[in-house]
Amino acid sequence: MNSKTKRYNLSDSTIRLVEEEDQFDFLCEGFDSPRARMSCGHVVTPMSLMKWCQQLLKQGKSRFVCGQSGCNAEWSYQEVCKMALLTPEEMKNFETLMALNAAAGNPNTKFCPGCMTPVTRGSSSNLYVCCQVCSAKTGHSFGFCWQCLREWKGQQPRSDRCENDDCHNSALKTLRECPEVKIDKVKGCPSVRACPTCGSLIQHTGIGCKTVICPRCKMSFCFGCLKSGYCGISDICSGGITPRQTFIPVWQRK
């Protein structure tokens, strides 16, 4: 379906069609479609709804809120997909932006692969996450892997991987396999480090001093010993070169 010609099907009994104005046609574009009522009671067309949700995603949102005056109702992703008549390509784009926005807003939140509902991780030492929404719908516990974002396979709890094929932590693999680099005459330092504050991966080319500033959380730390702040200009860190990291720090923002 071409997004420019999206129209509700008059024979679709699952959509509540109404003879009212499109309340989300903010630019008065006059979208050529019957009008329908959302779960919150406000009226949309497929195009006006899609444009409003795209605007929310551009603003860095990962959830869809009505936003009409006095209405803070949250629409489920499933409702947005249905009422905006999203194509498979549009859904893929939405889901990518939702995941990116959620990660930027809260590193402990990801989207359930079964229903695309935001789920907060309970423990950083367990990759198994239970989705309450999917569990309620299916009548049995539905869990997914925080690492590969697929339905969980194998025993749990586990902190390394689930039993899905090719389930691995790409960031840890980078930390494990990156080449060494010479920094401030200090040899044997891994060329990639996970920021000790937020966990973002940072690469050092060997040019410049040991102290770096994380572009994500803006914290400074020594690339050699991973201590926060300025480590000095000595060729050797006071605590020595910290070995390759074996876990990704989780940003505990306050």
User: Please, are residues 64 and 24 in contact by the beta-carbon 8 Å criterion?
Assistant: no
pTM, entire model: 0.55
DSSP secondary structure, 106-128, as one string? -TTEEE-TTT--EEE-S-TT--E
- 89 token code pair: 């390509």
How far is it, in rounded angstroms, from Cα 237 to Cα 227? 9
Q: What letter would DSSP give residue 227?
A: -
Residue 121 has pLDDT above 60, yes or no: yes
Question: What are the b/e assignments for 94-122, b being 16+ CB within 10 Å?
Answer: bbebbbebbeeeebbebbbbbbbebbebe
Q: Which amino acid is at 183?
A: I
User: Please, are residues 23 and 61 in contact by the beta-carbon 8 Å criterion?
Assistant: no
In this structure, of 133-142, 179-188, 189-198, the range with the lowest mean pLDDT score is: 179-188
- Domains of the chain, CATH where assigned: 3-102 (3.30.40), 106-168 (no CATH), 169-254 (no CATH)
In this predicted model, what pLDDT tens digit does every residue of 205-215 receive, in sequence order? 888 888 899 98
With cut-offs at 50, 70 and 90, classify the pLDDT of residue 238. low
State how far Cα 88 lies from the chain centre.
19
How far is it, in rounded angstroms, from Cα 164 to Cα 154? 8
Q: Residue 234's pLDDT is what?
A: 55
With cut-offs at 50, 70 and 90, classify the pLDDT of residue 170. confident
User: Please, are residues 220 and 228 in contact by the beta-carbon 8 Å criterion?
Assistant: yes
